[in-house]
Amino acid sequence: MKFPPRFLFSVLFGMSLAASVAISADPPLGLPSVPVPSDNPMTAEKIALGKQLYFDGRLSADNKVSCASCHDPAKGFSNGDRFATGVEGKKGGRNSPTVINTAYGVLQFWDGRAKTLEDQALGPIQNPIEMNMTLAAVIKKLNGIDGYKSQFKKVFGTDGATADGIAKAIAAYERTVISGNAPFDKFKAGDTKALSEAAQRGQKLFFGKAHCSACHAGPNFSDNSFHNIGVGMDKKDFDKGRADISKLSGDTGAFKTPTLREIAKSGPYFHDGSAKTLEEVVDHYAKGGIPNEWLDEEIFNIKIAPAEKADLVKFMTEGLSSPDYPEHKAPELPK
Amino acid sequence: MLRSMAFLLCGSIALTAVAQEAKPTAVLSGLDNPCGVAVQGATGHVFIADHKGVHRLDPKSGKAHVEISGFPTDIYGKGPKYNIGPLGLAFWDDEHLIVGDGSRPDGDELVRIYKVGKDAPHADHPPIKEDAAVATLGPIKASEESAKGEGNFYGVASNGKSIFITCNGDDTKGWIAKSTATNGKPGALKLSIATKVATEVDAPVPVIFGPYGDLVVGQMGEVSTPPGDSLLSIYDPETGKLKKNYKTGLNDIAGLAYSPKTKKLYATDYSWSDPKAGGLFRLDIDGDSIKAVKIASLDKPTACAFDKNGVLYVAVFGTVPEGSEKPMGSLVKFDSGL
């Protein structure tokens, strides 16, 4: 299911809890239509509710941690830190993946343990080091807020908030966090001036010698697959990643390929946030990663000159940063 | 480019399971990771490539022998791991078999052509040695167009004028290599069609010629997730231009074959991460869309080929029980009617 034509406009809700939500039937240049599950169609009211939930710290035990705390629009929908910080300042063990274009993801989380955005949405709420709530507690809390209770009834026809409704509303909102129409897309569409010469050189490297497009492929610059890229593999108790979910030894140390769209804004990088800059990322790949028996065959030593590294970074930062970045602001929250 | 791709990509796909699945008949068991099947037109003998070499089977007598042996072993995957040897098979003419290599590292692998003759299988047949080919094509070494060089030649197609080989070396390109014949002799193997650039999906695997001479390619897609991302792509064999691209909804297309009787197209789905979803499918093309109709469940099927009477042979990996090293691969057939 794709966005229906009636959403070919931006809507402003006339409700007291106004939230500006842009929905478009036409995906931005370079991206396909956003896939929408048939049991969770997009509606303006649902997206607005999801946006409020996304930005509301009351979904956490200490009323301070919201989805946006770790997936902040101002920080590339990540959080700018190596690891996420949850309730009472607790630290997680993985970098916050960006929400940008996660609508195109096949599996969610770094290890792909959630099959849909709806499955993903309830995970952090219940994670003891993230939002540390039970579903029963968060439902009770939301149903104590008239503005939420009435919206859930209107959107889902339920007597207030439900776990299913929370998941669907947040997922629907996340499907509006889209970035396309980048200089790369314009260049590809024929605008020869859309990329600087350095970025064009970087693009050629990206899709050629530097081997980036072996995994960062397709419109969203992700193959939606899992790879061991030799990060953190020198630690005694390294993160096993996808293997903990798939139970396949070949997936040991493998993590989901992230999108590279808006990558300039969402650092630090890698599943463990161990690369502070894109220059460090390129250096890592050029060296071929940390050797280990599960290292992906696409990761190998690449001879690449310093000037070429700079061109690659230029392509990613300039070419994949959209003028239409989803600069979402926190809406007014129900009281 | 992206936009034209999106235009070419057909949005409508459907997976349908038939109520009554067709029943395959096992014709050869004990195969070790079989990946290639070809039928010799003149004799009806079936050739199967597995880790150990290339086998010849006479379906009438049920007798089989190893036709070509001595290939090295390469290991595919990091867990599970598979020993692999020769991969794709196709006939150049009635007596010459083209064998795509999978037994060496990328950049060293070869395409060999062997004179296999028409003799029926018998127990004391001396196998042809792997390096005793009448022609050798490749290797395709590392270059600017292929970072590590090419290898894992899963698919082979020949129309007597050209040979097309699917390669799985450089994952940024997804090459199909081509050899063009001069005076009846195959020429050098050259990189020809960058399928990943054309389709933005990984891994060309099966390749065949369609009824009207088009090159028909199965693009396997990612194996570690089951997103149904396999494509069926149609190319002009002369220009290499992508003519049509269909989403199939299948997880990992590994084999393709047109029925000589009904002209219907069949595909095998290996379905790496969800083997229960795999099997044999009929691909019904209707305008811009494909409906994949499940014909039979099979345990990790790979290559497939019809004989001239419409009998379909399918190579099946099978599953080796944990702790066992007994090969569980087989060749099965579906009697004519498909």
Question: Least CB-CB distance to B225: which of A106, A207, A300?
Answer: A106
Burial per residue of B129-159, b for 16 or more beta-carbon CB atoms within 10 angstroms, e otherwise: ebeebeeebbbbeeeeebbbbbbbbbbbbbe
Q: How far is CA A296 from CA A230, B62, B129, B144, B168, in A?
A: 8, 42, 33, 21, 14
Question: Least CB-CB distance to A250: which of B78, B147, B201?
Answer: B78
Nearest CA in chain B to A255: B224
B2-334: which CATH architecture? Answer: 6 Propeller (2.120)
What are the tens digits of pLDDT across the range A74-128?
999 999 999 999 999 999 999 999 999 999 999 999 999 999 999 999 999 999 9
Cβ(A81)–Cβ(A41) under 8 Å?
Answer: no
Going from the N-terminus, what domains does chain A have, and what CATH number goes with each? 5-174 (1.10.760.10), 187-319 (1.10.760.10)
What are the tens digits of pLDDT across the range B192-250?
999 999 999 999 999 999 999 999 999 999 987 767 999 999 999 999 999 999 999 99
Q: Is the pLDDT of residue B103 over 70?
A: yes
User: Strand B13-17 vs strand B289-296: parallel, antiparallel, or unpaired?
Assistant: parallel
Q: How far is A327 from chain B (nearest CA, A)?
A: 25
Beta carbons of B78 and A302 less than 8 Å apart: no
Beta carbons of B171 and A208 less than 8 Å apart: no
> Would you place residue B324 in the very low, low, confident or very high pLDDT band (cuts 50, 70, 90)?
confident
Mean pLDDT of A130-159: 98
Q: Is the pLDDT of residue A5 over 80?
A: no
Q: Which of A16-25, A195-204, A305-314, B9-18 has the lowest mean pLDDT?
A: A16-25
For position B124, what pLDDT does the model report?
84
H or E element in which residue B5 lies? helix B2-8
Beta carbons of A302 and B147 less than 8 Å apart: yes
Q: For residue B334, what are its two tokens?
A: 């579906």
Question: Distance between CA B316 and CA B298 in Å, rounded?
Answer: 7
Burial (CB < 10 A; 0-12, 13-18, 19+), residue B83, is middle
Beta carbons of A251 and B2 less than 8 Å apart: no
Q: Is the pLDDT of residue A12 over 50?
A: no
Q: Is the pLDDT of residue A22 over 70?
A: no
Q: How far is A296 from chain B (nearest CA, A)?
A: 9
For position A7, what pLDDT does the model report?
38
The ipTM, to two decimals, is: 0.87
With beta carbons under 8 A apart, name residues in chain A contacting B200. 217-219
Question: Distance between CA B203 and CA A223 in Å, rounded?
Answer: 12
Beta carbons of A252 and B79 less than 8 Å apart: yes
Beta carbons of B202 and A217 less than 8 Å apart: yes
B4, B78, B229, B272: which to substitute to probe chain A, counting the most A Cβ within 10 Å?
Answer: B78
Q: How far is CA B129 from CA A177, B46, B71, B72, B120, in A?
A: 59, 19, 8, 11, 18
Whole-number average pLDDT of chain B: 92
With beta carbons under 8 A apart, name residues in chain B contacting A242. 224
Whole-number average pLDDT of chain A: 93
State percent of chain B over pLDDT 90: 85
pTM of the complete model: 0.90
Q: Where in chain B are the domains?
A: 2-334
With beta carbons under 8 A apart, name residues in chain A contacting B201. 217-218
For position B2, what pLDDT does the model report?
33
User: Strand B190-194 vs strand B185-186: parallel, antiparallel, or unpaired?
Assistant: unpaired
What are the tens digits of pLDDT across the range A291-315?
999 999 999 999 999 999 999 999 9
Q: How far is B148 from chain A (nearest CA, A)?
A: 9
Q: Is the pLDDT of residue A23 over 70?
A: no
Question: Distance between CA B295 and CA A108 in Å, rounded?
Answer: 32
Q: How far is A254 from chain B (nearest CA, A)?
A: 10
Nearest CA-CA partner of B338 in B278, B251, B268: B268
Cβ(A171)–Cβ(A118) under 8 Å?
Answer: yes
For position A264, what pLDDT does the model report?
98
What are the tens digits of pLDDT across the range A203-213?
999 999 999 99
State percent of chain A over pLDDT 70: 93
Question: Distance between CA B162 and CA B317 in Å, rounded?
Answer: 29
Amino acid at B127: P
With beta carbons under 8 A apart, name residues in chain A contacting B152. none
Other beta carbons within 10 angstroms of residue B121's beta carbon come to 17
Question: Least CB-CB distance to B227: which of A32, A106, A248?
Answer: A106
Question: Distance between CA A290 and CA A296 in Å, rounded?
Answer: 11
